[in-house]
Structure 1
Amino acid sequence: MQTRYVFVTGGVVSGLGKGAVAASIGKLMQLRGFKVDMIKIDPYLNVDPGTLNPVEHGEVFVCEEVWEFEPAPGYRFTIAEIDQDFGTYERFLDVNMHPSNNITSGQVYLSVILKERMGEYLGRTIQVIPHVTEEIKRRIRAVAERSRPDVLVVEVGGTVGDIEAMPFLEAIRQFRLEYPPGYTALVHVTLVPYLSSLGQLKTKPTQHSVKELQSMGLQPDVVIGRSDRPLPEDIRRKIALYSSVPLEAVFSDPDLESVYLLPVVLEEQGLGDYLCRVLRLDGRLDAARFEEWRRVAERFVKYSEEVVVAMPGKYTMIQDSYISINEALSHAGAHLGAKVKRLYIEAEDIEENPEKVREVLDSSHGILLTPGFGSRGVEGMIQAARYALDTGKPFLGICFGAQLLFVAFMRYRVGLAGAHSTEIDPETPHPVVDLLPEQKGVAFKGGTMRLGAHPVKVVPGTRLFEAYKSELIYERFRHRYHINPAYRELAERHGLVVSSTDPSGRIINSIEVAGDAWIVGVQFHPEFKSRPARPSPVYLEFLKAALRYKRARGG
């Protein structure tokens, strides 16, 4: 069957949850037996989000595979770091996304400019139309050719009207003209705000957004109204009238207790069947698989108890910085029938007001020390790790968090004053965390870390083995520094356990502290592989430990 394409655009404001809508469309097609793949278009000029600040852009998601992006012969860039929406795609579809499915303006323009420099366009003036738009269409088709999906969902980042998104929208306009009717569909997600002062939903922002889309030659097939409540029929009729779509093509995307309920809500409104008609697909919903998804989604809103997790970190001002961690905690909590309450603690606050932050840590049942880069707030994060070592409170350190656990252990258990990471203090007398050997001398920052999935050799009898129940696992990495193996023997004499390494034993992949307390640090990012129906094993064990801690204290 020839691939069908569903393009998803957004209007009015960013942050509407367009990625969740796109993933839900993919899920509804998947539940009809179609093979689904997804593309995210990001109009920023970065080649990938790997060097973006999480506070500005949110989490950087890491793929299982690493892609060698070759924009022109002789030029090659490693890409495994992609947009955070791919985490949503993977969690909804339970598939591993390929890095080439993230198309950025940086990649597109780099390809066009390098080809021009090499003479591929010799004699021609290079312009947005046709050269940039042709490169965009080529990249979309390349994904379809590689994975051969029945349905390819293409989400366009940003909002209609953004200058940087215009070439992509023009490419989609051309793309739709090049295919016969029934091979493409355009879904527009837009805001329908509720004005409490009037007690009314307002459709004017949606009207203007659709008009902007139409001015670029794009007529939506479906309009999805994002609001804090379901859209009543009169509002849907008004949107249909001004958007030039049938009433049955207007759908409501209300606030939900769990994002995993969105496919259920959209399916019950008829979105799956309507898209099948637009795409001329004979697809029948698999009722058993749909009900299974509903049961999984409903676990996220039915709890028998609550567990509190403190999350000291460097990027707590925007929760999207930790979206995969938050979802992994939710997956584990739903599996255990526990609602996870997160206490975000800005690392610098620990340094500035240690007593107040200690009160917050005291009120939690577990501590998750988050990933990060750079020196800001590091001493505060080290003190949070020291708190766990002193109190025995369940602790999970992820990547940078694991490295800082090791720093705290070497300072306060082993007694190495001034022990530090060379990332933070290049002159430290005890470089207990140091650059990986292959990272020394690296000049370019983008795409040069240890990236993608790597084999992890787990030591039997450890807490990590208890979680995974396997001596060989594969997890995803994103780091440039690592726990220095030169200090391993000294640390082990004081009660540290190296619970996993790479197959050669050269790279330490995880550590834990001997004794009754559940204190674990992992260099990898297990949250990237957590799924709603299949929680990450180490997150699951961490929450089990936190619940035991709570119950032991009469919580």
Structure 2
Amino acid sequence: MARFIFITGGVVSSLGKGLMAASLAALLQARGYKVRIRKLDPYLNVDPGTMSPYQHGEVYVTDDGAETDLDLGHYERFTGVPARQSDNITTGRIYRDIIAKERRGDYLGATVQVVPHVTNAIKDFIGSDIDPDLDFMICEVGGTVGDIESLPFIEAIRQFRNERGRFDAISIHTTLVPYIAAAGELKTKPTQHSVRELTSLGIQPEIIVCRCEHPLPDNERAKIALFCNVRKEAVIPALDAKSIYAVPAQYHAAGLDAEVLRAFGIENAPAPNMARWDDVMDRLANPEGEVTIGVVGKYVVLPDAYKSLTEALVHGGMANRVKVNIKWLDAELFEHPEAEVAATLEPCHGILVPGGFGERGSEGKIAAVEFARTRNVPYFGICLGMQMACIEGARNTAGLAKAGTTEFGQTEEPVVGLITEWMTAEGLQKREAGGDLGGTMRLGAYDAKLTGNSHVASVYGGTDISERHRHRYEVNAHYKDALEQGGLVFSGMSPDGQLPEIVERPDHPWFIGVQFHPELKSKPFDPHPLFASFIEAAVKQSRLV
């Protein structure tokens, strides 16, 4: 039977609960246990699919088509366990389902209340879809203890812990221990107050993780332990790390995984095998060169908007033992008449145009594609980046000067258009222009067939692939012949041959556009082949300049 670990945060947000959850899962995996991680988000959106990247960062997509919190990306990258629809819940989804039941009369006239109906729904989610051989289920609660919106989740966890018993469910609370420079001291009062708040809601944490900028002295650990009613060894310092991939080893050295096992009463657990993480850190710490990748996007002022992309580029660097320097470039800068596109992009050894929505910056992305094509610089287009590559090719090599996308309005040559229908495992899916935005895209993993003699087939080492999608618009296959005559080859298609998945230029050193999001499946110990190949091409480019 699975044991449950609940992770909450206090004092301030952005303390790294998700990273801690992922690191703990990796450490338990290293000891031979089977682990899964879930995220409970208190916001009222049904999912983050309609939220601006500036509000919430990237939307992480699972194989089964769920639009989820970006922390699930950390979970997958650190554990290699594919996330599922059942691994992320929001207040919005819970209330939507409860109200639907109430309207149907499922509650038989009862007054529907936060307790027990909302809390029961949360508990049902926590305990659902659990594999029989799972050892640990880690549940991270978004937000900060004391927030109004998180109260039903905290109450549900209190009930769940009480129902499951002392050795089946524990709590880890993450807090901040700030350093006051004027006093030259770390202050433990915020942690004490945060734990007191959590305890007042009925949850006594077994372990306290303290984020701090300076080492936490033994006397301060002892003070926190005394006032927060835990063992001193259960007060775990969490200092900033040079890389997120150094965090598992750092938490292991601080005793986090040992304390978790002790809290469950588990003795004689296997020692962790850290070889995987030792290799990852060796590749990060000892690069044999470096490359610069220009990422031309529209959300570049907020790195979390491209979190998986950033990490996938780092993974590609690991595969080639090089450091990847990312040069974030706002696509709008290339749309001004005085824009110096060449001067800005010439220092880059590779150019990547990521996914996105909306017209802003699109012409700047097309300018970046043209530079990469004409200068023989490795180019990687993802989702919208592939579509912009097709529009650039249509305009400049296929003779379709008025090529465009219907995403931005009516166009004489709709090289990119709205997908109105596509096949899924559940059958034919249909969408209409002007319909709801939430959950109405081509989402999740879909198969593709690659041309046998193509560049991408050699990169993947085969012709059958499955990748994750998140898009409403698709390159119009009616323009396939015209684009291919201009040198842009369609080397990957959906199994039914209707939807273009990959384009490439055989006469270019490395020019690939993909409709899907390969960054979502890349891991530090298993870099995605497209990113590994792209960085390899960038290394070759660096030797030419």
Check whether TM > 0.5: yes
Report SS of the residue matched to 2:458.
Answer: helix
Q: Given that residues 33 and 283 in structure 1 are in contact (C-alpha distance below 8 angstroms), is that contact kept between their aligned partners in structure 2?
A: no
- CA–CA distance in 2 between the matches of 1:277 and 1:230? 24
CA positional deviation for 1:263 = 1.3
Task: Write the letter of the residue equivalent to 1:26.
Answer: A
Q: How does 1:82-481 map to 2 (within 5 A)?
A: 82-144=68-130, 146=131, 148-282=133-267, 284-287=269-272, 289-352=273-336, 355-425=339-409, 427-438=410-421, 440-441=431-432, 443-481=435-473
CA positional deviation for 1:506 = 1.0
CA positional deviation for 1:476 = 0.8
- CA–CA distance in 1 between the matches of 2:40 and 2:202? 19
Q: Given that residues 328 and 530 in structure 1 are in contact (C-alpha distance below 8 angstroms), is that contact kept between their aligned partners in structure 2?
A: yes
CA positional deviation for 1:205 = 2.2
CA positional deviation for 1:447 = 1.4
Q: Given that residues 276 and 525 in structure 2 are in contact (C-alpha distance below 8 angstroms), is that contact kept between their aligned partners in structure 1?
A: no
CA positional deviation for 1:37 = 1.1
Indicate the residue corresponding to 1:74 in structure 2. none
TM-score, scaled relative to structure 2: 0.95
Gaps of 5+ in 2: 422-429
- CA–CA distance in 1 between the matches of 2:347 and 2:338? 14
Q: How does 1:14-25 map to 2 (within 5 A)?
A: 14-25=13-24
Report SS of the residue matched to 1:414.
Answer: coil
Tell me: CA distance 1:155–1:147, structure 2 relative to 1, closer, same or farther (3 Å): farther
| Residues 331-368 of structure 1, C-alpha deviations (whole Å, 9 max, x = no match) | 11012111111111122222237534543311111111
Indicate the residue corresponding to 2:56 in structure 1. 57
Report SS of the residue matched to 2:107.
Answer: coil
- CA–CA distance in 2 between the matches of 1:414 and 1:214? 67
Indicate the residue corresponding to 1:552 in structure 2. 544
| Sequence identity percentage | 44
CA positional deviation for 1:114 = 1.1
Q: Given that residues 32 and 283 in structure 1 are in contact (C-alpha distance below 8 angstroms), is that contact kept between their aligned partners in structure 2?
A: no
Task: Write the letter of the residue equivalent to 2:7.
Answer: V
CA positional deviation for 1:87 = 0.8
Gaps of 5+ in 1: 67-79
Q: Report the more deviating stretch, 187-196 or 329-338.
A: 187-196
Tell me: CA distance 1:217–1:440, structure 2 relative to 1, closer, same or farther (3 Å): closer
Match of 2:517 among 502, 517, 525: 525
Q: Report the more deviating stretch, 544-553 or 119-128.
A: 119-128
Q: Given that residues 276 and 283 in structure 1 are in contact (C-alpha distance below 8 angstroms), is that contact kept between their aligned partners in structure 2?
A: no
| Residues 421-469 of structure 1, C-alpha deviations (whole Å, 9 max, x = no match) | 11012x2111000112315425222212111111111112222112101
CA positional deviation for 1:266 = 1.1
Q: Given that residues 455 and 503 in structure 1 are in contact (C-alpha distance below 8 angstroms), is that contact kept between their aligned partners in structure 2?
A: yes
Q: Given that residues 476 and 525 in structure 1 are in contact (C-alpha distance below 8 angstroms), is that contact kept between their aligned partners in structure 2?
A: yes
Indicate the residue corresponding to 2:44 in structure 1. 45
Q: CA RMSD in A?
A: 1.6
- CA–CA distance in 1 between the matches of 2:333 and 2:388? 17
Task: Write the letter of the residue equivalent to 2:250.
Answer: V
CA positional deviation for 1:517 = 2.7
- CA–CA distance in 1 between the matches of 2:501 and 2:299? 24
Tell me: CA distance 1:173–1:440, structure 2 relative to 1, closer, same or farther (3 Å): closer
Report SS of the residue matched to 1:142.
Answer: coil
Structure 1 segments of 4+ aligned residues over 4 angstroms from their partners: none
- CA–CA distance in 1 between the matches of 2:222 and 2:340? 53
| Residues 132-185 of structure 1, C-alpha deviations (whole Å, 9 max, x = no match) | 0011001111133x5652110000011111111110011111111112211111
Q: Given that residues 420 and 432 in structure 2 are in contact (C-alpha distance below 8 angstroms), is that contact kept between their aligned partners in structure 1?
A: no
- CA–CA distance in 2 between the matches of 1:387 and 1:204? 56
Q: Given that residues 368 and 397 in structure 1 are in contact (C-alpha distance below 8 angstroms), is that contact kept between their aligned partners in structure 2?
A: yes
| Residues 294-331 of structure 1, C-alpha deviations (whole Å, 9 max, x = no match) | 22233222212111111111111211111111111111
CA positional deviation for 1:129 = 0.9
- CA–CA distance in 1 between the matches of 2:327 and 2:43? 32
- CA–CA distance in 2 between the matches of 1:173 and 1:28? 26
Task: Write the letter of the residue equivalent to 2:510.
Answer: W
Task: Write the letter of the residue equivalent to 2:216.
Answer: L
Q: Given that residues 350 and 378 in structure 2 are in contact (C-alpha distance below 8 angstroms), is that contact kept between their aligned partners in structure 1?
A: yes
Tell me: CA distance 1:353–1:341, structure 2 relative to 1, closer, same or farther (3 Å): farther
TM-score, scaled relative to structure 1: 0.93
Q: Given that residues 291 and 325 in structure 2 are in contact (C-alpha distance below 8 angstroms), is that contact kept between their aligned partners in structure 1?
A: yes
- CA–CA distance in 2 between the matches of 1:534 and 1:488? 33
- CA–CA distance in 2 between the matches of 1:260 and 1:216? 34
- CA–CA distance in 1 between the matches of 2:268 and 2:495? 45
Q: Given that residues 393 and 486 in structure 2 are in contact (C-alpha distance below 8 angstroms), is that contact kept between their aligned partners in structure 1?
A: no
Number of residues paired by the alignment?
536
Q: Report the more deviating stretch, 433-442 or 13-22.
A: 433-442
Indicate the residue corresponding to 1:71 in structure 2. none
Task: Write the letter of the residue equivalent to 1:301.
Answer: A
